[in-house]
Amino acid sequence: MVLAMVAADFATVGRIELGAIIPRSFHLVRLEWRRLAILAVLFLWAPYELYAFAYGYLVQSQGGLQTGPVKLAHIAGYLSLITSYNLGICLSLEALFRRLDGGERPARPLFFALPAMLVGVVLQVLGNAPTLAAMFTGPPTDWASYIGLILTNSLILFGLNLVVGSAMPVALEERKNPARALLRAATLSSGNRWRLAPVILVYQGAFVVGYIVLLIAGAALARSFASHLGYVWIALASIPSTAASALIYRELRRIRDGLTDVELSGVFD
């Protein structure tokens, strides 16, 4: 009922109207929650837990955080996590786009997701450059430094999402290589970037605030428990934000390319 009432928000040609994105994204998640939950566990939560276990064992066996093997393993593990995370996001996007198309499109082979995954890896490496740099210089030693690092990463990622946030959906749906996907995403968002800002702030702000709160709350019990809570939140928070990314991409396509509203509205009838 509510979704039907806000459907008119998508009627303006030339300007993106985002009032319905948030409720639609959660409705889309409800329709695909089983598949999205399985992908989140397999590609987001489980790899983080395995990485934490392996990294903790390596630190103990090597006698500290600052040894060469530990630093290299930390960086390699972090890049592996980013790769797994973005593969999970790509597979989730594929499931969501199939749902938006009424489930009529056949499932595609896994290799279709690889260019989009590479786009996501590039964006996250750029957005998390301060964290990667800290792996060479040494991890933060206090909460203020650690939270500052998280907020710095978030500001960089916000800027990237504002300009090329649709690059992964572009690479997946339009079968473009990473470079062309980034250029196409920048073209799609042109003229609507500041209208995208509130929705990006809602999802990214909820992610960052929730992550920090859970880390601090978990640390009151045990530092390792804090990390586990953070990993769970990363997996959970990615689900609605991925749905929003799919919807925003389709809306930008409608504006730029004259895409009809069938894909956007049919699934919500």
**pLDDT tens profile 77-122:** 888 999 999 999 999 999 999 998 887 677 777 788 899 999 999 9
Supply the pLDDT for residue 204.
92
Q: How far is CA 141 from the centre of its chain?
A: 27
From residue 205, give the alpha-carbon distance in Å to each of 146, 226, 237: 17, 19, 11
Distance CA 123, CA 129 (A): 10
Q: Tell me the three-class secondary structure of the chain, residue by residue.
A: CHHHHHHHHHCCCCCCCCCCHHHHHHHHHHHCHHHHHHHHHHHHHHHHHHHHHHHHHHHHHHCCCCCHHHHHHHHHHHHHHHHHHHHHHHHHHHHHHHHHCCCCCCCCCHHHHHHHHHHHHHHHHHHCHHHHHHHHHCCCCCHHHHHHHHHHHHHHHHHHHHHHCCHHHHHHHHCCCHHHHHHHHHHHHCCCHHHHHHHHHHHHHHHHHHHHHHHHHHHCCCHHHHHHHHHHHHHHHHHHHHHHHHHHHHHHHHHHHCCCCHHHHHHHC
The C-alpha R_g of the chain, in whole angstroms, comes to: 19
Regarding pTM above 0.75, the answer is yes
pLDDT, position 212:
84
Report the pLDDT value the prediction gives residue 183, as an integer from 0 to 100: 96
Residue 9: per-residue pLDDT: 38
Report whether 234 contacts 8 (CB < 8 A): no
98 vs 101: CA distance, rounded Å: 5
Q: pLDDT tens across 200-219, in order?
A: 999 999 999 888 887 777 66
- Going from N- to C-terminal start, the domains of the chain cover 34-268
Q: pLDDT per position in the chain (269 positions), as tens?
A: 333 333 333 444 456 666 778 889 999 999 999 999 999 999 999 998 888 777 777 766 665 555 566 677 778 888 899 999 999 999 999 999 999 888 767 777 778 889 999 999 999 999 999 988 887 777 777 888 888 999 999 999 999 999 999 999 999 999 999 999 999 999 999 888 888 999 899 999 999 988 888 777 766 665 556 667 778 888 899 999 999 999 999 989 988 887 665 544 444 44
